[in-house]
Amino acid sequence: MTPAEGALRVDFVTGAVAHRLRFGGGRGQDLAKAMGLRAGKTPKIVDATAGLGRDSFLLASLGAEVTMIERSDVMHGLLQDGMARARQEGGVFGEILSRMTLLHGDAKVLLPDLDAEAILIDPMHPPRKNSALVKRELRQVREIVGTDEDCEALMQVALRHARQRVVLKWPAKAAPMPGIKPCSHQILGKSTRYDVFMCSIGCEGPAV
């Protein structure tokens, strides 16, 4: 593998993301269901942990307006670059990118002003024991951003400011995030779990 081939980049136009765009399961996918997308209902979403932008791209491809927040300078630069290339590609990519907005900063600071209906939180989790199973890209992101030690504080801010729901993307077998009230329901995948906190019943509440 040449260095260029191995370098981390945001790529919406080829590879895994484009494949999922063509062959994914539409609004029946776990992420879409967790965020509340269904026939006739498309919430305005804030992805508070944009990373490589994959979740945001998927949600935008299903019709959602997505505001992405990324605090790492490096990841933000990679996202800007990948988004510019996708816009240049035009067609369906240009159309999807027209629904994606990227902000640079800490979501704990920016979320209160965004009037989000649904907020997605996908923090960098502590490394799994079997690190050989962790994909190369995830290892590369971790080398850049480390572990998001303040994810509990981010959840607390999100729970105070989402109008409809907060969704925490978390390893399937991990214990619930400490210090956060129990979720309303979970959507369980093979390796990933979505803990959904509905706000119509009061997002804020005593931590447990």
Feature table: binding site = 54-55, 70-71, 122
Coil vs helix vs strand at 103: strand
Contacting residue, 34, 35, 45, 55, with ligand SAM by CB under 6 A: 55
Letters for 127-146 (x = contact with ligand SAM by CB under 6 A, - = none) are --------------x---x-
CB under 8 Å to 174, separation ≥6 — which residues?
A: 125, 193
Handedness of CA 161, 105, 29, 125 (dihedral sign): negative
DSSP class of 102: E
Confirm or reject binding of residue 71 to ligand SAM (CB under 6 A): yes
Query: CB neighbours (10 Å) of residue 165?
Result: 25
Please, which residue, 43 or 123, has the CB nearer to ligand SAM? Answer: 123
DSSP of 141-153, one letter per residue? HHHHH---TTHHH
Beta bridge partner(s), residue 121: 168
Please, which residue, 107 or 196, has the CB nearer to ligand SAM? Answer: 107
Confirm or reject binding of residue 86 to ligand SAM (CB under 6 A): no
163 touches 157 (CB < 8 A): no
Size of the site for ligand SAM (CB under 6 A): 22
163 touches 206 (CB < 8 A): no
Confirm or reject binding of residue 152 to ligand SAM (CB under 6 A): no
Contacting residue, 62, 66, 82, 148, with ligand SAM by CB under 6 A: 148
Q: The tokens of 193 are what?
A: 């779990």
Please, which residue, 49 or 156, has the CB nearer to ligand SAM? Answer: 49
Contacting residue, 107, 119, 155, 159, with ligand SAM by CB under 6 A: 107
**What is the binding site for ligand SAM (CB under 6 A)?**
48-49, 51-55, 69-72, 75, 106-108, 122-124, 141, 145, 148, 154
